[in-house]
């Protein structure tokens, strides 16, 4: 995989460089609530601009279903990128149309432009190779070189991620190089004990990574909504908690395999419960209580791990050599159910281990709960991509960057 430094050594001044970034940031109207992904790609864009390239940045945002939708415009992200770069960033109101061509043609050496949301064009996500290829051809007409730096999208076989690199000389950006280097530390020559913390809402989202990590991890700690399928699989009452009944046999098999392989599977000993899901907009108090994990009341909903579990999980991470964490321990957006996620974050900070926060909601929780990002070994920009890499899958966007 060619690096951006190799591309620059061959000469990029005056050339149009298409940077496939991941600017898929959360928005409250037009206000960005977490600019982590924009900050993550800024070094690559700055490096190219400083080298005299004419930088064309492109990304998706949300799921606009192949047609323009103002709610998913990248205009706020383009403005924020300009603030981070300390320079004006041009913005094209389409992807490959008149505005895009005009904006790109007007770029001078060292200037930057952002195209409108790639998913406003149905060719970006098309299953049909020809339709996707036609959109990639149009994008290729806007550039001379390609830099892949949208790690959060490399597990997607999309036109700008998979097809476009085949049409242009290509290289990996600084972010992707960093992300791949970190993931190799989680799969090759791992410092032990290797602990994995998995949370989030659905156990089905994590089945592949659990299956793969049973052969690699020393400990797997489970929290979040997915944990109630594990507790149910052990025969416990889970009340009205999130539950995937159809996954119980799979979970039971994983628990048996873990025992046979000597992998420590750690589940909560207590949970925070309430009568109903809390109001995340008003953050109104929801009258939670803490109960034993094996004695949940039938009419209550589990919404976070409890304090004894937080202490248990911190102890299990204290002597780890490597920790990978993906998924919050509870409904961290509400103060009544943020303690478990905060406790895990603090345990990672306190641990001497090489710690990786695996993107998605975990990365958002770290920032929302006010933790210093530099206190962790690495915070990934791609939750889904990280998980699929750890499952051993071939990621289309990485394969496309190979020479």
* Residue 384 designated active-site: yes
Q: From the candidates 200, 382, 384, 397, which is the catalytic residue?
A: 384
Cα gap 100→401, rounded to integer Å = 24
**Catalytic hit among 152, 330, 360, 397:** 360
User: Rounded CA gap, 369 and 339, in Å?
Assistant: 10
What tokens were used for 136?
A: 């990639």
Residue 63 a catalytic site member: no
37, 119, 157, 206: which is the annotated catalytic residue? Answer: 37
N- to C-terminal Cα separation, the chain: 6
The CA distance from 203 to 129, in Å, is 32
Write a three-state SS string for the chain: CCEHHHHHHHCCCCCEEEEECCCCCCEECCEECCCHHHHHHHHHHHHHHHCCCEEEEECCCCCCCCCCCHHHCCHHHHHHHHHHHCCCEEECCCCCCHHHHHHHHCCCCCCEEECCCHHHCCCCCCCCHHHHHHHHHHHHCCCCEEEECCHHHCCCCCHHHHHHHHHCCEEECHHHHHHHHHHHHHHCCCCCCEEEEECCCCHHHHHHHHHHHCCCCCEEEECCCCHHHHHHHCCCCCCCCCCCHHHHHHHHHHHHHHHHHCCEEECCCEEEEECCCCCCCCCCCCCCEEEECCCCCCCCEEEEECHHHHHHHHHHHHCCCEEEEECCCCCCCCHHHCHHHHHHHHHHHHCCCEEEECCHHHHHHHHHCCCCHHHCCEECCCHHHHHHHHCCCCCHHHHCCCC
Catalytic choice (202, 216, 257, 308): 202
Active site residue 360: yes
Which residues are annotated as catalytic?
A: 37, 202, 360, 384
């Amino acid at each position: 995989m060619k690096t951006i430094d190799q591309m620059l050594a061959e000469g990029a001044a005056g050339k149009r460089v298409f940077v496939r970034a991941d600017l898929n940031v959360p928005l409250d109207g037009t206000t960005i609530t977490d600019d982590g992904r924009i900050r993550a790609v800024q070094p690559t864009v700055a490096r190219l601009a400083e080298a005299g390239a004419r930088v064309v940045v492109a990304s998706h945002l949300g799921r606009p279903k192949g047609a323009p939708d103002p709610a998913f415009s990248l205009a706020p992200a383009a403005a924020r990128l300009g603030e981070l770069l300390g320079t004006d960033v041009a913005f094209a109101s389409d992807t490959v149309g008149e505005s895009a061509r005009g904006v790109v043609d007007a770029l001078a050496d060292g200037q930057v432009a952002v195209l409108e949301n790639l998913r406003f064009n149905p060719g970006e996500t098309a299953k049909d190779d020809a339709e996707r290829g036609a959109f990639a051809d149009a994008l290729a007409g806007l550039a001379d070189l390609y830099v892949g730096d949208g790690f959060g999208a490399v597990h997607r076989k999309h036109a700008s991620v998979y097809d476009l690199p085949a049409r242009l000389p290509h290289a990996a950006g600084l972010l992707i190089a960093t992300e791949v280097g970190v993931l190799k530390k989680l799969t090759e020559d791992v410092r032990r004990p290797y602990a994995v913390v998995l949370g989030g809402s659905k156990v089905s989202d994590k089945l592949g990574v659990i299956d793969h990590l049973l052969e690699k991890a020393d400990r797997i700690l489970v929290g979040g909504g997915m944990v109630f399928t594990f507790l149910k699989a052990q025969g416990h009452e889970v009340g009205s908690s999130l539950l995937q009944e159809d996954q119980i046999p799979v979970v039971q098999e994983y628990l048996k395999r873990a025992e046979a392989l000597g992998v420590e599977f750690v589940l909560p000993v207590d949970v925070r419960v309430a009568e109903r899901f809390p109001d995340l907009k008003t953050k109104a108090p929801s009258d939670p209580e803490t109960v034993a994990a094996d004695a949940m009341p039938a009419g209550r909903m589990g919404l976070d791990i409890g304090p004894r579990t937080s202490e248990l999980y911190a102890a299990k991470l204290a002597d780890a050599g490597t920790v990978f964490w993906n998924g919050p321990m509870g409904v961290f957006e509400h103060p009544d159910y943020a303690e478990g996620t905060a406790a895990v974050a603090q345990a990672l900070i306190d641990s001497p281990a090489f710690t990786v926060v695996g993107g998605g909601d975990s990365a958002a929780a770290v920032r929302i709960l006010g933790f210093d990002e530099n206190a962790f070994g690495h915070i990934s920009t791609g939750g889904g991509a990280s998980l699929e890499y750890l499952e051993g899958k071939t990621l289309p966007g990485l394969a496309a960057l190979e020479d």
